[in-house]
């Protein structure tokens, strides 16, 4: 038995080594195929631009002849200087790229030389037309053609040439590029800015195209490996069959030659048959085990996809009724059987959009993130795991009440006391989270719950499902778990540094909270995509300042407006932290309680009960 086990372990080690070797070959072949395909693209585009440059040269000469064929000096006529410029300058621009196309096709120096020549041709065309606006579009067309290389570095070279050309000629000869005798010193920046704007989208197209090429190369490499493996097995099987055939022919000859050995030959055949039957039984047993393994996996995913009321998880939690659902799962009102107490259970439900190990990891991360935020105003996670039948779940305290989103929908905007009463505990939760290396990343009205127990309202921050775990002294950077380049969160409440895919820390949550506080006070968010679309919304977050809160309500104190604006500073380094925001709101709340209203009465005299409750809560927060 020991020898048999050792033999099986040796076979597994050999199989694993072969798998690693095959993956290395596929990776190497993928790189080779991608490089070959990319080189073909470079060479093909080089040849295309060789023809295009010659065509542009001839067209440039034609345009110069058509626009101003002659120059007059008194009664003396001569060929206009523009024609000689088109002939000789164009010839100089064409000569080096053409030489490189046929001597060094597909090389970096060739395509960058072509990029410079193409942009200089644009500059020559603009010059020949006297700086007419229409000819500037030749620059944008040239950039589009350069994307045929599927290499974003070529666009950078071309843009640098355009910027340098506009800068130099704008200083010494502005009429040749802008069509005016005198131009502002920054006029060239306006032109280059539009070029950078187009570059942004062209570079994205280049990167996506290269990614597609790499995917195709990998698929082809895998197909080649599969074909090679099939051919190898066919050859091995053919050799085995040939060998057995030779043996049978030899045995038949021996049978014809020696009849007395017939019995021995039959016995040998029987032994061979028994060995084959034994091997077939072992193979059948392995197939049955493999099929059972697949069935178990199917049952797991089937269970993950259907979590129905009445189901009991791990003999501990009974799902009673569904109370909500989201992108990753559904929330059920449930009962903890051992204590017979109501709880909430969030169940991961895979769909076509999220059925991946990455999304399951993100779901389970919500429990880890929430547990690290030990605060009475954060929803409590009691348990988590994957049940015996494969259902991933989180057990949380059961909240009863409504979300801030519901209250805003019903009331539009909220009184100042109410706003501060809600936001201060949220600040405390975020401060605790940031201290423990947690960035919530989705602060919005839906994720602020107004819990209504018998002892009084408690503000709860919920849904740490897309929270980010980072070292508390470091900034977060994009990772695979946060979306492979995609933004995770709600753009209406997202900080500029996250929208521009830059490193961020807990102050991105403060920006989101500032948008929320602005909405509570004004009745609307400062930046809306209803008419501008998602691109317009992103640009407003990045560039525009929010309208003053007093435009919506002139009764909003200046001190409170200044606090809100400090949360909406574009530069995160200058933005206040969650701790600073909470402290500022507490100080404002204390002064606001005794603030006189325009009619001479104090604020607390307007509503004694709510004001006393407000003062009590502020005192508790300060303690």
Residues recognised as catalytic? 442
Q: Which two tokens stand for residue 489?
A: 């969160």
Whose structure tokens read 């006297």? Answer: 130
* CA gap 105, 43 in Å, rounded: 5
* CA gap 508, 384 in Å, rounded: 28
Q: Which two tokens stand for residue 285?
A: 């047993």
Render 149-188 in DSSP notation, one character per residue: G--HHHHHHHHHHHHHHHHHHHHH-THHHHSSSS--TTHH
Nearest-5° Cα angle at 211, 161 to 208:
55
Q: Which two tokens stand for residue 178?
A: 């802008």
Cβ-contact 618, 424 below 8 angstroms: yes
Closest CA relative to residue 470, chosen from 509, 502, 436, 510: 436
* CA gap 418, 457 in Å, rounded: 12
DSSP secondary structure code for residue 504 in this structure: B
DSSP secondary structure code for residue 476 in this structure: B
Structural element, H or E, at residue 113: helix 108-128
- The CA radius of gyration of the chain, in Å to the nearest whole number, is 37
Phi, psi (degrees; rounded to nearest 5) at 451:
-70, 135
DSSP secondary structure code for residue 76 in this structure: E
* CA gap 3, 504 in Å, rounded: 58
CB count, 10 Å around CB of 565? 15
């Amino acid at each position: 038995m020991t020898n048999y086990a050792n033999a099986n372990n040796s076979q597994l080690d050999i199989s694993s080594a072969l798998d690693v070797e095959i993956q290395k070959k596929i990776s190497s072949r993928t790189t080779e195929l991608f490089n070959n395909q990319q080189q073909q693209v470079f060479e093909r585009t080089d040849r295309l631009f060789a023809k295009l440059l010659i065509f542009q040269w001839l067209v440039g000469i034609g345009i110069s002849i058509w626009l101003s064929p002659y120059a007059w000096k008194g009664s003396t006529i001569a060929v206009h200087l523009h024609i000689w410029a088109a002939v000789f300058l164009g010839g100089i621009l064409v000569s080096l790229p053409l030489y490189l196309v046929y001597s060094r096709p597909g090389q970096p120096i060739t395509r960058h030389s072509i990029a410079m020549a193409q942009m200089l041709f644009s500059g020559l065309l603009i010059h020949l037309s006297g700086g007419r606006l229409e000819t500037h579009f030749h620059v944008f067309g040239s950039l589009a053609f350069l994307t045929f290389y599927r290499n974003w570095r070529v666009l950078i070279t071309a843009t640098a040439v355009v910027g340098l050309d506009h800068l130099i000629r704008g200083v010494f000869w502005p009429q040749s590029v802008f069509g005016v005798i005198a131009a502002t010193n920054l006029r060239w920046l306006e032109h280059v800015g539009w070029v950078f704007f187009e570059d942004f989208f062209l570079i994205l197209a280049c990167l996506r195209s290269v990614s597609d090429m790499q995917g195709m190369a990998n698929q082809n490499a895998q197909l080649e490996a599969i074909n090679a493996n099939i051919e190898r097995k066919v050859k091995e099987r053919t050799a085995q069959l040939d060998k057995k055939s030779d043996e049978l022919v030899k045995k038949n000859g021996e049978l014809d030659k020696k009849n007395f050995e017939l019995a021995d030959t039959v016995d040998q055949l029987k032994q061979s048959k028994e060995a084959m039957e034994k091997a077939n039984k072992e193979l059948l047993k392995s197939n049955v085990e493999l099929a059972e393994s697949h069935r178990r996996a199917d049952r797991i995913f089937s269970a993950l996809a259907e979590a129905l009321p009445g189901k009991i998880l791990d003999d501990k939690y009974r799902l009673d009724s569904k109370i909500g659902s989201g992108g990753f799962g559904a929330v059920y009102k449930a009962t903890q059987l051992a204590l017979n107490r109501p709880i909430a259970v969030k169940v991961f439900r895979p769909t076509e959009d999220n059925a991946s190990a990455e999304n399951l990891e993100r779901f389970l991360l919500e429990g880890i993130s929430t547990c690290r935020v030990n605060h009475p105003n954060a929803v409590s996670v009691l348990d988590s795991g994957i049940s015996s039948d494969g259902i991933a779940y989180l057990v949380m305290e059961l909240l009863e009440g409504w979300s801030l989103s519901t209250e805003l929908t019903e009331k539009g905007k909220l009184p100042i006391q109410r706003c501060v009463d809600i936001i201060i505990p949220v600040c405390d939760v975020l401060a605790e989270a940031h201290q423990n290396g947690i960035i919530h990343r989705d602060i919005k009205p839906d994720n602020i719950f107004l819990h209504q127990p018998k002892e009084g309202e408690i503000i709860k921050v919920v849904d740490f499902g897309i929270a980010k775990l980072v070292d508390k002294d470091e900034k977060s950077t994009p990772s695979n778990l946060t979306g492979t380049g995609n933004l995770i969160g709600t753009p209406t409440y997202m900080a500029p540094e996250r929208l521009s895919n830059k490193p961020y820390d807990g102050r991105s949550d403060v920006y989101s909270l500032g948008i929320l506080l602005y909405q509570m006070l004004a009745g609307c968010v400062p930046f809306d995509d209803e008419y501008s679309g998602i691109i317009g919304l992103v640009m407003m977050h990045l560039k525009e300042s929010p309208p003053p809160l007093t435009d919506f309500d002139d009764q909003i104190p200046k001190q409170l407006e200044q606090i809100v604006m400090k949360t909406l500073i574009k530069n995160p380094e200058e933005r206040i932290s969650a701790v600073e925001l909470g402290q500022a709101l507490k100080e404002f709340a204390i002064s606001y309680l005794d603030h006189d209203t325009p009619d001479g009465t104090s604020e607390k005299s307007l509503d004694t009960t709510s004001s006393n409750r407000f003062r009590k809560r502020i005192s508790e927060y300060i303690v």
